[in-house]
Amino acid sequence: MTTLPTLPAGGRPAEPPRPAGARPLGGPWPASARPGRDGDVLIGGVGLTEAADRFGTPLYVLDEGEVRARARAFRRALPDADVFYAAKAFLCSAMADWVADEGLGLDVCSAGELRLAAAAGFPPARILLHGNAKTPEELRLARRLRVGRIVVDGLAEIPRLAALAVADTPQRVLVRVVPGVAAGHHSAVRTGVDGQKFGFRITGGDAAEAVRRILGQPGLELAGLHCHLGSQITGTAPYLAALDRLVGLLAEIRDRHGVEPPELDLGGGHGVRYLPDGEELDPAAFAAAVTARLAARCAEHGLAVPRLLVEPGRAIAAPAGVAVYRVLSVKHTGDGRAFAAVDGGMSDNPRPALYGSAYTVRAIGRAGGGPTGTFDVVGRHCEAGDVLVHGAALPADLRPGDLLAVPAAGAYQLSMASGYNLVGRPAVAAVRDGRIRLLIRRETVEDHRAREVGR
């Protein structure tokens, strides 16, 4: 691990000159990504080799401009909707500031995320609390902070929340509904189908019963219905199918109870590119399809069109992040395979091991044009499954000390990172307009030892 001195916040590294006519790298890279001199890559005007030398590796580089641009894209596409950034993708104080500045709300699912948001000064009225197993302490904290909405995920939450209610300020709640729509890149993240831990089924009357109980509590206000189908969804069809079923349930609530909940939350799960030829769900196309279908279905049922809520997380954070690793060893085996082992791995990116997720990788600081070889880029952990990228085309003479960059690294990597083998979690730096600043320092052994209270 490189441990050179860090750059003061707001400092400017020496920026490598851009080659004349340098074009964006495109694909899964941030829009600001450009090739630099001698094989470098510039993100937000900052060279990744310089960033790695100053802050060490593994290093996560976040393009602030990319985060803001993607947040604005959702706001433009859905000007009459409420857009909540899903904090579980990745959250730090700076990220909370950026999405707040861009007019987004924040979707949190733990006391930790809620406390960090509050400490960062995020407006509580723009916070939505999720979770299939919220603790009593989390519910009390949410009520004390006066968060705008709480998503009810189980019947037991209804009396608990009602007991915390203040007469003159009822808590607005959404009922999480399971619409019976399968979507997502892996079975572990398909949350819109029956038979899993989230929400209330429409079939069998579970959702209708939750609605009945909420309407019977004067301290609770039924704001609307909620669903979340899964992750890495690249087409609109699953959202439209779910919308049809939720609007049908809204009509049943109207017919049975004489009320029309004013909000409909379609969750997140919007897919992004991880590979150069990958697909991505365009916010404008999503918005056009969903808003048209919502208006049509509500007209069929004689309903007022509810306010739409969406919760993009990956679609905002993932393309803004680039992970930078240093090669520790290169191994060629007798059966013709080649392994490039780096100083990170499944402790900072568990997605390949958990979901078989595919990434692309690029050698940086190496002039191109030479012969390439096929490598498995592997981590440093004591697991055969600790493989970050399979079959990567990298310089044939790859050697220890070389740098590798993995794009689309901003979501569900650091937020799911672990302390496996006591390898500290990486540092995080932000780039913008040719400047770089450290957001999160590298985790050390002393951080782990500080948690010990006896022996």
pLDDT in tens, 274-326: 999 999 999 999 999 999 999 999 999 999 999 999 999 999 999 999 999 99
What SS3 class is residue 322? strand
Q: Is the pLDDT of residue 5 over 80?
A: no
Query: Cβ distance 306 to 261 under 8 Å?
Result: yes
Give the least confident one: 160-169, 238-247, 289-298, 427-436. 160-169
Write down the pLDDT at residue 168: 76
**What percent of the chain lies above the pLDDT cut of 90?**
86
Q: Token pair 């109207």 is at which residue?
A: 254
Residue 2's pLDDT band (cuts 50, 70, 90): very low
Cis (ω within 30 of 0) for the bond into 58?
yes
- Mean predicted confidence (pLDDT) in 63-87: 98
Write down the pLDDT at residue 369: 78
* Partners of 263 in the β-ladder: 224, 307
In the chain, list all ranges with CATH 2.40.37.10: 34-63+319-449
Query: To which H or E segment does residue 342 belong?
Result: strand 338-342
In the chain, list all ranges with CATH 3.20.20.10: 65-317
d(CA 240, CA 292): 10
pTM, entire model: 0.91
Q: Is the pLDDT of residue 259 over 90?
A: yes
Write down the pLDDT at residue 182: 65
Query: Cβ distance 179 to 242 under 8 Å?
Result: yes
Q: What share of the chain is helix, strand, coil (3-state, %, to 5)?
A: 30, 25, 45
Residues contacting 135, CB < 8 A, separation 6+: 111
Supply the CATH classification number for the domain 65-317. Answer: 3.20.20.10
Query: Among residues 298, 208, 307, which one has the least CA distance to residue 266?
Result: 307
Write down the pLDDT at residue 165: 81
Task: State yes or no: is 92 an active-site residue.
Answer: no
Supply the CATH classification number for the domain 34-63+319-449. Answer: 2.40.37.10
State the average pLDDT for the chain: 91
What is the DSSP secondary-structure string of 170-181?
PEEEEEEEE---
- Angle (deg, nearest 10), helices 136-145 and 157-164: 40
Check 109, 227, 298, 382 and give the catalytic one: 382
Write down the pLDDT at residue 445: 94
Tally of CA atoms within 13 A in the half-sphere of 356 that contains its CB? 5
- Mean predicted confidence (pLDDT) in 83-105: 98
Residue 194's pLDDT band (cuts 50, 70, 90): low
CA 419-422-428 angle, to 5 degrees, is 60
Tell the burial category of 383 from Cβ atoms under 10 Å away from its Cβ (0-12, 13-18, 19+). Answer: middle
Residue 377's pLDDT band (cuts 50, 70, 90): very high
Residue 83's pLDDT band (cuts 50, 70, 90): very high
pLDDT in tens, 32-51: 999 999 999 999 999 999 99
More confident residue, 166 or 340: 340
* CB burial readout 161-197, b (16+ within 10 A) else e: bbeebeeeebbbbbbbbbbbbebbbeeebbbbbeeee
Phi, psi for residue 72 in degrees, rounded to 5: -65, -35
Write down the pLDDT at residue 189: 46
Query: Cβ distance 413 to 321 under 8 Å?
Result: yes
